[in-house]
Amino acid sequence: MSNTFFETIKVIDGKVFNISFHQERYESVLNHFSINSAKNLQEFIKPPKIGFFRCRLVYGISKNSHTLNVTYHEYKKREINSLKLLYSDDISYGFKSTYRDKLDELYALRGECDDILIVKNSLVTDTSIANIAFFDGSRWITPASPLLRGTTRERLLREGKIFEEEIHVNDLENFSQVALMNAMIDFDIITKNAKDFCAR
Protein backbone atom coordinates (compact mmCIF):
# COMPACT_ATOMS: atom_id res chain seq x y z
CA MET A 1 0.00 0.00 0.00
CA SER A 2 1.17 3.51 -0.78
CA ASN A 3 2.21 5.75 2.09
CA THR A 4 0.59 8.70 0.33
CA PHE A 5 -2.97 9.67 1.23
CA PHE A 6 -5.36 12.42 0.28
CA GLU A 7 -8.51 14.32 1.14
CA THR A 8 -11.00 15.61 -1.41
CA ILE A 9 -12.60 18.79 -0.10
CA LYS A 10 -15.53 20.71 -1.54
CA VAL A 11 -15.03 24.44 -2.15
CA ILE A 12 -17.65 26.82 -3.53
CA ASP A 13 -16.87 30.53 -3.99
CA GLY A 14 -14.07 30.32 -1.45
CA LYS A 15 -16.14 28.47 1.18
CA VAL A 16 -14.59 25.24 2.45
CA PHE A 17 -17.11 22.54 3.38
CA ASN A 18 -16.98 20.06 6.26
CA ILE A 19 -13.32 20.69 7.03
CA SER A 20 -13.65 19.32 10.58
CA PHE A 21 -14.52 15.86 9.23
CA HIS A 22 -11.57 15.92 6.83
CA GLN A 23 -9.31 17.03 9.67
CA GLU A 24 -10.59 14.18 11.82
CA ARG A 25 -9.98 11.53 9.16
CA TYR A 26 -6.55 12.92 8.32
CA GLU A 27 -5.56 12.75 11.98
CA SER A 28 -6.91 9.20 12.28
CA VAL A 29 -4.59 8.11 9.45
CA LEU A 30 -1.63 9.74 11.17
CA ASN A 31 -2.56 8.11 14.47
CA HIS A 32 -2.74 4.71 12.81
CA PHE A 33 0.86 5.11 11.69
CA SER A 34 1.94 6.60 15.04
CA ILE A 35 2.60 10.01 13.51
CA ASN A 36 2.24 12.88 15.98
CA SER A 37 2.80 15.87 13.68
CA ALA A 38 -0.76 16.69 12.62
CA LYS A 39 -1.25 20.05 10.95
CA ASN A 40 -4.29 22.31 10.77
CA LEU A 41 -5.55 21.62 7.26
CA GLN A 42 -7.54 24.84 7.11
CA GLU A 43 -4.30 26.82 7.21
CA PHE A 44 -3.13 25.20 3.97
CA ILE A 45 -6.33 25.74 1.98
CA LYS A 46 -6.41 29.06 0.12
CA PRO A 47 -9.11 28.43 -2.50
CA PRO A 48 -10.23 30.58 -5.43
CA LYS A 49 -12.93 33.04 -4.44
CA ILE A 50 -15.23 32.29 -7.36
CA GLY A 51 -16.30 28.89 -8.68
CA PHE A 52 -16.95 25.29 -7.66
CA PHE A 53 -13.72 23.44 -6.99
CA ARG A 54 -12.44 20.09 -5.83
CA CYS A 55 -9.61 20.75 -3.45
CA ARG A 56 -7.20 17.81 -3.45
CA LEU A 57 -4.95 17.72 -0.41
CA VAL A 58 -2.25 15.06 -0.67
CA TYR A 59 0.05 14.09 2.17
CA GLY A 60 2.87 11.64 2.46
CA ILE A 61 3.78 10.33 5.87
CA SER A 62 7.03 9.46 7.60
CA LYS A 63 8.13 9.04 11.18
CA ASN A 64 9.72 12.48 11.24
CA SER A 65 7.31 14.73 9.41
CA HIS A 66 5.00 14.86 6.42
CA THR A 67 4.27 17.29 3.64
CA LEU A 68 0.99 18.64 2.33
CA ASN A 69 0.34 19.42 -1.31
CA VAL A 70 -2.86 21.29 -2.18
CA THR A 71 -4.29 21.71 -5.67
CA TYR A 72 -7.64 22.99 -6.96
CA HIS A 73 -9.61 21.53 -9.84
CA GLU A 74 -12.82 22.88 -11.34
CA TYR A 75 -15.53 20.44 -10.44
CA LYS A 76 -17.77 18.75 -12.96
CA LYS A 77 -20.14 16.17 -11.57
CA ARG A 78 -19.99 12.67 -13.00
CA GLU A 79 -23.54 11.56 -13.74
CA ILE A 80 -24.23 8.11 -12.32
CA ASN A 81 -27.52 6.42 -13.13
CA SER A 82 -26.51 2.78 -13.30
CA LEU A 83 -24.25 0.52 -11.25
CA LYS A 84 -22.76 -2.85 -12.12
CA LEU A 85 -22.47 -5.32 -9.26
CA LEU A 86 -18.93 -6.67 -9.03
CA TYR A 87 -17.58 -9.15 -6.51
CA SER A 88 -14.17 -8.91 -4.85
CA ASP A 89 -13.49 -10.63 -1.55
CA ASP A 90 -9.88 -9.49 -1.32
CA ILE A 91 -10.31 -5.76 -1.94
CA SER A 92 -9.21 -3.42 0.83
CA TYR A 93 -9.33 0.39 0.91
CA GLY A 94 -9.56 1.36 4.56
CA PHE A 95 -7.61 4.58 4.07
CA LYS A 96 -8.04 7.21 1.36
CA SER A 97 -4.80 6.25 -0.34
CA THR A 98 -3.52 7.46 -3.69
CA TYR A 99 -2.97 3.76 -4.49
CA ARG A 100 -6.28 2.80 -6.12
CA ASP A 101 -5.15 0.09 -8.53
CA LYS A 102 -7.68 -2.54 -7.40
CA LEU A 103 -10.54 -0.04 -7.53
CA ASP A 104 -9.44 1.05 -10.98
CA GLU A 105 -9.29 -2.58 -12.16
CA LEU A 106 -12.85 -3.18 -11.02
CA TYR A 107 -14.08 0.12 -12.47
CA ALA A 108 -12.69 -0.93 -15.85
CA LEU A 109 -15.13 -3.87 -15.77
CA ARG A 110 -18.24 -1.67 -15.53
CA GLY A 111 -19.24 -2.29 -19.14
CA GLU A 112 -22.06 0.04 -20.19
CA CYS A 113 -22.80 1.07 -16.60
CA ASP A 114 -21.78 4.43 -15.17
CA ASP A 115 -20.04 2.97 -12.12
CA ILE A 116 -19.70 -0.19 -10.05
CA LEU A 117 -21.10 -1.43 -6.75
CA ILE A 118 -18.58 -3.63 -4.98
CA VAL A 119 -19.69 -6.72 -3.07
CA LYS A 120 -17.19 -8.21 -0.58
CA ASN A 121 -17.92 -11.51 1.14
CA SER A 122 -21.56 -11.22 -0.04
CA LEU A 123 -21.93 -7.80 1.65
CA VAL A 124 -22.54 -4.54 -0.21
CA THR A 125 -19.76 -1.99 0.29
CA ASP A 126 -19.19 1.11 -1.90
CA THR A 127 -19.03 2.35 -5.46
CA SER A 128 -15.66 3.31 -6.92
CA ILE A 129 -15.96 6.92 -5.75
CA ALA A 130 -18.73 7.09 -3.16
CA ASN A 131 -20.43 5.52 -0.19
CA ILE A 132 -23.96 4.35 -0.84
CA ALA A 133 -27.31 4.31 0.94
CA PHE A 134 -30.62 2.57 0.26
CA PHE A 135 -34.15 3.62 1.17
CA ASP A 136 -36.24 0.90 2.83
CA GLY A 137 -39.49 2.87 2.86
CA SER A 138 -38.84 4.66 6.12
CA ARG A 139 -35.07 5.03 6.59
CA TRP A 140 -31.91 5.44 4.56
CA ILE A 141 -29.57 2.53 5.29
CA THR A 142 -25.85 2.54 4.53
CA PRO A 143 -23.63 -0.55 4.61
CA ALA A 144 -22.04 -1.11 8.02
CA SER A 145 -18.89 -2.44 6.34
CA PRO A 146 -17.91 0.11 3.69
CA LEU A 147 -14.54 0.00 2.00
CA LEU A 148 -13.89 3.57 3.15
CA ARG A 149 -15.63 5.51 5.88
CA GLY A 150 -16.31 8.72 4.00
CA THR A 151 -16.61 12.13 5.62
CA THR A 152 -20.13 12.78 4.32
CA ARG A 153 -21.24 9.32 5.45
CA GLU A 154 -19.84 10.01 8.93
CA ARG A 155 -21.54 13.41 9.15
CA LEU A 156 -24.94 12.04 8.11
CA LEU A 157 -24.65 9.15 10.57
CA ARG A 158 -23.95 11.57 13.41
CA GLU A 159 -26.86 13.75 12.33
CA GLY A 160 -29.17 10.73 12.40
CA LYS A 161 -30.08 11.10 8.72
CA ILE A 162 -28.79 7.67 7.73
CA PHE A 163 -28.37 4.41 9.63
CA GLU A 164 -25.82 1.65 9.19
CA GLU A 165 -26.61 -2.04 8.84
CA GLU A 166 -24.99 -4.99 7.11
CA ILE A 167 -26.54 -5.25 3.65
CA HIS A 168 -26.34 -8.64 1.96
CA VAL A 169 -26.32 -8.57 -1.80
CA ASN A 170 -29.65 -10.43 -1.80
CA ASP A 171 -31.19 -7.60 0.23
CA LEU A 172 -30.93 -5.12 -2.64
CA GLU A 173 -34.31 -6.08 -4.05
CA ASN A 174 -35.95 -4.89 -0.82
CA PHE A 175 -35.00 -1.23 -1.34
CA SER A 176 -36.79 1.38 -3.39
CA GLN A 177 -34.16 4.10 -3.90
CA VAL A 178 -30.42 4.56 -3.99
CA ALA A 179 -28.27 7.53 -2.95
CA LEU A 180 -24.56 8.15 -3.33
CA MET A 181 -22.49 10.10 -0.83
CA ASN A 182 -19.13 11.78 -1.00
CA ALA A 183 -17.58 15.13 -0.19
CA MET A 184 -18.40 16.66 -3.56
CA ILE A 185 -21.97 15.48 -4.19
CA ASP A 186 -23.08 15.34 -0.54
CA PHE A 187 -26.21 13.09 -0.59
CA ASP A 188 -27.30 12.47 -4.17
CA ILE A 189 -30.40 10.35 -4.75
CA ILE A 190 -30.37 8.18 -7.86
CA THR A 191 -33.91 8.23 -9.15
CA LYS A 192 -33.82 4.75 -10.64
CA ASN A 193 -35.29 1.92 -8.60
CA ALA A 194 -32.75 0.02 -6.55
CA LYS A 195 -33.49 -3.09 -8.62
CA ASP A 196 -32.42 -1.39 -11.83
CA PHE A 197 -28.73 -2.27 -11.67
CA CYS A 198 -26.93 -3.49 -14.73
CA ALA A 199 -26.45 -7.22 -15.21
CA ARG A 200 -24.96 -9.04 -12.25
- 164 contacts 126 by C-beta, under 8 angstroms: no
CATH code linked to domain 4-74 = 3.30.470.10
Q: Was domain 83-190 assigned CATH 3.20.10.10?
A: yes
Pairing mode, strands 115-120 and 123-127: antiparallel
Burial of 74 per CB tally in 10 Å (0-12, 13-18, 19+) = exposed
Strand 131-135 with 123-127, pairing: unpaired
Model pTM?
0.92
Predicted local distance difference test score (pLDDT) of residue 67: 85
Distance between first and last Cα of the chain: 29
Domain boundaries in the chain? Answer: 4-74, 83-190
Residues of the chain with pLDDT under 70: 1-2, 63-64, 191-200
CB 188: neighbour CB atoms within 10 A? 16
The per-residue pLDDT for 199 is 46
Query: Whole-number mean pLDDT of the chain?
Result: 92
